[in-house]
């Protein structure tokens, strides 16, 4: 599975970092940064949580 992040949609809420801190971080302006484009299976539940809580619908998890 691959994570897609549309950074120009990001509203800097940081919800993704709270849900999946091994996969996402924020830059100094708060904009989400993808740390791991293809996270391991143990992280997928966290990523799905991040997709669901992102208030800008800026994250997608897609089948490779």
Partner 1 sequence: MNRIVVVGASAAGLAAVETLRREGYDGTLTLVGDEPLAPYDRPPLSKQLLASEWEPERLDLRPADDLAALGLDLRLGVAATGLELAERTVRLADGSEVPYDGLIVATGVRPRRLPGEGAHVLRTLDDALTLRDRLGPGLRLVVVGAGFLGAEAAAVAWRLGAKVTLLEPAPVPMAHAVGTEVGAMLTAAHVERGVDLRCGTGVSEVTEDGVRLADGQVIEADEVLVAIGSLPNTEWLEGSGLSVGDGVVCDEYCEAARNVYAAGDVARWYNPLFGTSMRIEHRTNAAEQGMAAARNLLRPAGRKPFAPVPYFWSDQYDMKIQAYGYLRGHDEVAVVDGDLSERRFVAAYRTGDRVTGALAVGMPPKAIRTWRQAIAAGAAWDEAVRTEASPTGA
Query: What φ, ψ does residue 60 adopt, rounded to 5°?
Result: -135, 145
Q: Can you read off the two tokens belonging to residue 33?
A: 């940064």
Q: Is 26 in the site for partner 1 (CB under 8 A)?
A: yes
Rule CB under 8 A: which of 34-53 touch partner 1?
A: 48, 52-53
Rule CB under 8 A: which of 1-20 touch partner 1?
A: 9, 11-15, 17-18
In whole angstroms, give the CA distance from residue 34 to residue 55: 16
What residues make contact with partner 1 under the rule CB under 8 A? 9, 11-15, 17-18, 26, 28-30, 48, 52-57, 60
């Amino acid at each position: 599975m691959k994570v897609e992040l549309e950074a120009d949609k990001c509203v800097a809420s940081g919800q993704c970092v709270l849900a999946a801190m091994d996969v996402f971080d924020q830059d100094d302006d708060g904009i989400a940064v993808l740390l791991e484009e293809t996270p391991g299976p143990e992280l997928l539940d966290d990523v799905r949580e991040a997709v669901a809580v992102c208030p800008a619908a800026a994250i997608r998890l897609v089948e490779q």
